[in-house]
Structure 1
Amino acid sequence: MPTALPPHTYLMIRKIESNYTLTSEEKLTLQKLPVQTVDVKPGQDIVKMGDQPTQCCLLLEGFSCVYKLTLEGKRQIMALHIPGDMPDLQSLHLQVIDINIASLSPCKLGFIQHRDLHLLFEQHPRLITPFWHETLVDASIFREWLLNVGQREGYSRIAHVICELLLRLKAVGLVEGNSFHMPISQAELADATGMTPVHVNRVLQSLRNNGLIHTNRRQIIIPDWQKLQEAGEFDSLYLHLKND
C-alpha cells in the first residue's frame, strides 16, 4: 500500500478507479475527507435494522456481512463486504436502515459523516457517479445471490462465492496470484448460502478433492480458475468491474 496515502484514501481511490478515472483534484479532495477510524471485534453489529445513521461506514480492514433474522432468530447473510466497500451507503438517502451489518473478522472501520459526503458531492458533482455506481453494484450482487441460493446446487453455490470474492478482492489489490485470505467460518458460509455447516464442510472437501481449491487455514488458493468458474456457473458481468 502506498505510504503517501492514508488507508481510507488508498482503498477509496483504488475502488473508484476500478471503474472510473479520477482527476488529481478529485483525489486530493477524497484524501481530505474527514474519516473517524474505529476497530471492532468479530461478531459485532456495526449497523442494526431500525437505526437512523448520520454517517456511512467504509470498511478498511477485515470482512463484514449484511444479514437479516427470522422471528426464530435464524440468520440469512445477504452479502459479504471487503476492504474498500461502503455497505451502508444507502443511508445517505434512506432515513431508516432495514438491514443489519456485522463484522465477520476483526475490522477497522472508517466513518464518514453524511454532511461531509453531501458537501463533497455539491463541490464535485462528478463524484456522485462512482458512489451511485457502488449502490447499483450492491443491488446487482443481491440479485445474483438470490439466484445462487434459490436455484444452484450446494457445490455451485460455494464455488460461485469463492469466484466472486477473488475478483472483488483483486480489484482492491488484496489477491496474490490466485490466492486470497477468506476469514469466514463454515457456519458463516452456511448462513450465506442457505446450507448447513455440515453440508458446507462436505462441499469444501469435494472442491479440494476435485482440485478446484486448496486451503491453508483461512487462505484460499485457486489452481484452476477456469474450472472453478464452470463449477460455480460464474459470469462476472454482475460485478460490473472494468478489468476482471
Structure 2
Amino acid sequence: MTSNGKAPNTLMIRKLESIFPLSDEEKQTLADLPIHVTRLKPDRDIVRIGDRPFQSCLLLEGFTCVYKITAEGKRQIVAFHVPGDIPDLQSLHLKVMDNSVATVSPCTLGFIPHEALHDICNRFPRITAAFWRETLVDGSIFREWMTGIGRREAYNRMAHLLCELLLRLKAVGLVEDETFDLPLTQNELADAIGASAVHVNRVLQELRGDGLIRSKGTQVQILDWERLREAGDFDPLYLHLRQDGNA
C-alpha cells in the first residue's frame, strides 16, 4: 500500500480508464502486475538520457518532470507527470532514453519490469491499445506545450498549465473543491513555461490579483474556472479524456 492507503496499481488503472475503457479482467490483470515500490527525494533522476531501462516507472505520489539540458547547461522541462502516469512508458519499445525523468517533489514510485509489461500486452491486445493511447496523449500534450511556448504570453501559459493540471489530477481523484497540490518551485515552473523565475512570480501574483486562483503553500485553488480557461486559451480536447463513458 502507498501512504494514501491505495494499492500501488490502483492509480494506473484509474488513469488508463480516464482515456480508455477497460474490462474487469483487464483491470485485474493490471492490478496483478509485479511492482517494486520505492521513495525518492526531490531533484533525483529516475532515468537519464542514454539509459537503457529494463523497467518502467509508475508515479504513485508526487510530481515528476521530463527534461533536457542544452550544451550551455540550461534546462527545459517538456512535461510534468502526476500520480497514475508512467513517465517513461516509451522505454518499453524505445530501448535508449532520449530524455531524462526526475522527481520535482518527494515521490513514491512503482517500478514494473518490462518483461511483465510485454507479457500482458501479448496476452491482452486491448491493454496494448490502452498503453498506446497513453503515449499518444503524451504526444498531444507535448504539441500543446510547444504551441504555448511559441505563441502564448507567460500569463496565458501559466493559466493554461494550471487548467491542464487541474483536469489531469481530477481524472485520478486528486482534486477537492477545485483545490490541488502543486509542489513545484518557481524555478521549475519557469523551466516549463520558458520564462524567468522572477517573471513566474509576477505572473502568479497577477493571477491571484485577478481573482482566478488562490494559493497557500503548495495548495492551489481555482476560483474562476471559466475566466482561467479564457486566460489560458485552454481547450481540453488535447487531453483526450473520456466523456460520458466514451473514449
TM band (smaller chain): over 0.9
- In the other structure, the counterpart of 1:25 is 25
1:8 is displaced (CA, Å) by: 2.3
Does residue 94 of structure 1 match 2:112? no
Amino acid at match of 1:93: H
1:141-172 deviation digits (Å, cap 9, x = unpaired): 11110111111001101000000000000000
- In the other structure, the counterpart of 2:180 is 180
1:124 is displaced (CA, Å) by: 1.2
1:6 is displaced (CA, Å) by: 4.7
- In the other structure, the counterpart of 1:133 is 133
Take 1:191 and 1:109, find their aligned partners in 2: how far apart are those partners? 23
- In the other structure, the counterpart of 2:208 is 208
Alignment RMSD? 1.7
Take 2:210 and 2:54, find their aligned partners in 1: how far apart are those partners? 48
Amino acid at match of 1:101: V
Given that 1:79 and 1:142 are in contact with CA atoms closer than 8 Å, whether structure 2 keeps it comes out as yes
1:2-40 deviation digits (Å, cap 9, x = unpaired): x9x953221011111113332222122111110011100
Given that 2:56 and 2:113 are in contact with CA atoms closer than 8 Å, whether structure 1 keeps it comes out as yes
SS in 1 for 2:241: coil
SS in 1 for 2:96: coil
Take 1:131 and 1:8, find their aligned partners in 2: how far apart are those partners? 17
Take 1:20 and 1:196, find their aligned partners in 2: how far apart are those partners? 37
Alignment of 1:61-210 (within 5 A): 61-210=61-210
**Deviation >3 Å, runs of 4+:** none
SS in 2 for 1:7: coil
SS in 1 for 2:242: coil
Count of matched residue positions in the alignment of Structure 1 and Structure 2:
243
Given that 1:174 and 1:180 are in contact with CA atoms closer than 8 Å, whether structure 2 keeps it comes out as yes
Take 1:155 and 1:217, find their aligned partners in 2: how far apart are those partners? 20
Runs of 5+ consecutive residues of structure 1 not aligned to the other structure: none
SS in 1 for 2:9: helix
1:161-195 deviation digits (Å, cap 9, x = unpaired): 00000000000000002111100001100000110
Take 1:74 and 1:207, find their aligned partners in 2: how far apart are those partners? 27
Amino acid at match of 2:64: S
Given that 1:42 and 1:107 are in contact with CA atoms closer than 8 Å, whether structure 2 keeps it comes out as yes
TM-score (norm 2): 0.95
Give the share of equivalent positions with the same residue, in percent. 59
1:242 is displaced (CA, Å) by: 1.1
Given that 1:7 and 1:60 are in contact with CA atoms closer than 8 Å, whether structure 2 keeps it comes out as no
Does residue 42 of structure 1 match 2:42? yes
SS in 1 for 2:66: strand
Runs of 5+ consecutive residues of structure 2 not aligned to the other structure: none
1:61-119 deviation digits (Å, cap 9, x = unpaired): 00000000011110000000000000100001111100010000000110011110010
1:28-66 deviation digits (Å, cap 9, x = unpaired): 211111001110000000010000001110000000000
TM-score (norm 1): 0.96
Take 2:110 and 2:243, find their aligned partners in 1: how far apart are those partners? 26
